[in-house]
Amino acid sequence: MAAIERIQDIDISGLAIIHYPDPRLRVTCSPVEEIDEFVRRLVQRMFELMSARQGVGLAAPQVGVTVRLFVACPTADPNDRQVYVNPRIVSESGKQEVEEGCLSVPGVNCRVKRYRQVTVEATHLDGERFQETGQDLTARIFQHECDHLDGQLIVDRMGTVARLANRKAMRELEERAAEV
């Protein structure tokens, strides 16, 4: 359980959503080896942060914890909250291009080409493996959050026009990071 053991002393209540260009957003995340109390508390904090920002998905590296885990709630109904530990996309089909934003890249929106339907395999907090197929928004969440687990951001998927349209917001994020 190497990835989790190194970070067991993190103050979970102090976690916050980190922003581009923070280098932790570019890390390829390590697998979660054991679902323990740390992971459960991390998940709870991630749901709090995601809900506070009215997000539909949040990956662990977006709060600075570089493990393969994300949470999602596409409907904003608390009964719809889902946890995906060590997720991997096992199939995809169809294509669509829709505007996306990201809690870690605030103020930046762009059209992103993604698959319309995606099946993800992951583990629940109870340790059981499962598969889930999502379409449209849910499929986009799966792909967006799995990108985060591999160190990719929506800025990596932008076309030239989107880069030009978002250059001011990107520059402001970079300047804020340089001030810290």
Q: Give the residue numbers marked as catalytic.
A: 145
Provide the 3-class DSSP secondary structure of residue 90. Answer: strand
72 vs 57: CA distance, rounded Å = 4
Q: How many C-beta neighbours within 10 Å does residue 160 have?
A: 7
Contact by Cβ (8 Å): 89, 142: yes
- What is the side-by-side order of every strand in the sheet holding 82-93? 57-59, 69-72, 82-93, 117-123, 129-135
Contact 29, 68 (CB under 8 A): yes
